[in-house]
Chain A
Amino acid sequence: MTSPTDQELIERWRHEPAPLLPLLHAFHDRDGYLSDEALRAVARGLKIPLAELFGDVTFYHHFERDPSRTNAPRVCTGPVCRYQGGPEILAALEKDGATPMPCAGRCDDPVPVLRGGHALAGTAADSLRAHLSPLPPPNPGSHEECVFSAIREPGRARLDGYRRTGGYEALTKAVTELQPADLIHLVTENGLAGRGGAGFPTGTKWQAVADAAAHPKTVVCNADEGEPGCFKDRAILCHDPHAVLEGMTLAAYATGATRGFVYLRYEYPEAFRVLQHAIHEAEQAGLLGGSILGTDFAFHVHLRRGAGAYICGEEGSLLNSLEGKHPFPRNRPPFPVTHGYENLPTVVNNVETLAAAVQLIRRGGKWYRNLGMNGHAGTKVISLSGDIRRPGNYEVPIGLPLKTLLYEWAGGPFEGREIQAVTMAGLSGGFLAADDLEVTLDEPGIRAKGSFLGAGGIMVFDSTRDMIAVAHEAMSFFAHESCGKCFPCRIGTQRLTERLAGEAGPTELSAWIDEVSDLGETMKAVSACGLGLAAPLITESLLKYFPERVAQHVQA
Chain B
Amino acid sequence: MIATEKDLKTHTMMLDGEAVSFTEGETIYEVAQRVKTDIPTLCYDQRLEAFGGCRLCVVEVEGQRLPVASCTTKATPGMVVRTSTATLEKHRKTLLEMVASENREIDVDPLRGYAAQELATLVDRYDARGGRFRGKRSGATREDDDNPFILRDYDLCISCYRCVRVCAEQEGDHAISVMNRGFETQITVEFEGLLKDSACTFCGQCVQTCPTGALADKKALRFAELPGAIEKTRTICAYCGVGCSVDVLTKGDTMVGIQPAMDGPANHGALCVKGQFAYDFVQHPDRLKTPLVRGDDGKLHEADWDTALDRAAEGLRRVVDQHGRHAVYAVASGRAPSEAAYAVQKLMRAGWGTNHIDNCSRA
Contacts and interface: CB of A to CB of B under 8 A. Distances in A.
B134 A487 contact: no
A504 interface: yes
B52 A484 contact: no
A495 B53 contact: no
A487 B55 contact: yes
Contacts of A311: 181
Interface string A461-502: 000000000000000000111111111111111110010000
A491 B53 CA distance: 12
B293 interface: no
A389 B133 CA distance: 41
B91 A522 contact: yes
A309 B180 CA distance: 11
Contacts of B42: 487
Interface residues of A, number: 46
A49 B174 contact: yes
B141 interface: no
A526 B181 contact: no
Given A488-B98, A495-B101, A51 B181 contact: no
A479 B178 CA distance: 17
Given A55-B188, A331-B52, A527-B55, A479 B183 contact: yes
Contacts, number: 151
Given A49-B174, A519-B133, A58 B67 contact: no
Most buried by B among A58, A489, A521, A533: A58
A58 B52 contact: no
B61 interface: no
Given A55-B177, A58-B179, A487-B158, A504 B199 contact: no
B58 A491 contact: no
A494 B159 contact: no
B145 to A, nearest CB: 15
Contact of A50 (B72, B133, B199): B199
A490 B55 CA distance: 12
Contacts of A484: 159, 178, 180-185
Interface in A297-342: 309, 311, 326, 331, 333
A494 B178 contact: no
Interface string B148-160: 0000000000110
Given A331-B72, A504-B135, A525-B67, A51 B183 contact: no
A491 B161 CA distance: 15
A518 B182 contact: no
A52 B174 contact: yes
Given A49-B174, A504-B136, A526-B95, A55 B179 contact: yes
A482 B52 contact: no
Most buried by B among A49, A50, A58, A487: A487
Contacts of A515: 132-133
B199 A485 contact: no
Interface of A: 36, 39, 49-52, 54-55, 58-59, 309, 311, 326, 331, 333, 479-495, 498, 503-505, 515, 518-519, 521-522, 525-528, 533
